[in-house]
Amino acid sequence: MDAKTLENLVETNKMYQLVTERLEVIDPAAQDIYARFNMESELMEVILELYHNDEDNFPFQKLQKFSLEQVLAYLQASHKFYLSKKLPEIEQTMMHIFNKYGSTHQILASLTSFFNDYKNRLVEHIRMEEKTFFPYIKSLISASKGEMTTQETKTLLSECSIASFDDNHDPIEDDLKTVSSIIHSYSLNEETPLPYRVFLNQVELFEMELRKHAIIEDHVLAPMARELEAKLKAA
Ligand SMILES: [Fe+2]
Ligand SMILES: [Fe+2]
């Protein structure tokens, strides 16, 4: 096996792990969240493909064959995964660096304050989706199944909309680029210490993860929900 093949294999394996790792955070006892068995391997496979592909050429219609519930369940599992696993992991590396270089490296003050601020914004972004956007989509699903009265559906449609989500959905992952620019500007003339490189690596992987997540929200979830919304409006 040549080095390139090995490198690709390691890369594929890393991606696979990243994509499937979130299945571990789903609480099997939780009743309201679509359970693990709903996260069919087929869906995970298509998502893995998205991780490997150039985003501009990704055939989104491949994801449209899954139900809105499945896509929602996947996104919710991802939210949980970010909050309970990814953010703490990155924070831990940050703490490690701080303990090692805290007294000598000035850069750490700006890095820590940036990251704390970023974390708050990310938590707020996820909270908005979990408290407003996702429940609205769940209600659209209920309405489409005939579980709501005409009046209830009318009120629902007048109070919220997919269009307002489109307008307010910020590309939160972009800000993470600041981390690399802080680190790079600091270590311009010298070699970046290893712990910083590890940290940077984690942050860059997380940035990619959040970008793919936003793509699924914007290009799969929102269009599917918009279609359902339009149908209910026309009814
Ligand atoms: Fe999200
Ligand atoms: Fe989002």
CA of 18 to the centre of ligand 1 (A): 16
Percent of the chain with pLDDT over 70: 91
Q: Compute, in angstroms, the gap from residue 53 CA to the centroid of ligand 2.
A: 20
pLDDT digits (tens, 9 = 90+) for 60-84: 778 888 889 889 988 998 999 999 9
* Ligand 2 center–CA 128 separation, angstroms: 9
8's enclosing H/E stretch is: helix 3-21
Of 32, 60, 212, give the one whose Cα is nearest residue 134: 32
Going from N- to C-terminal start, the domains of the chain cover 67-234
Rounded to 5 degrees, φ, ψ at 199 are: -60, -45
Q: Give me ligand 2 centre to Cα 138, in Å.
A: 16
CA of 174 to the centre of ligand 2 (A): 12
Residues 6+ apart with CB under 8 A from 115: 90, 91, 94, 179
| CA of residue 78 to ligand 2 center, whole Å | 11
Tokens of 106: 């000035």
pLDDT of residue 124: 94
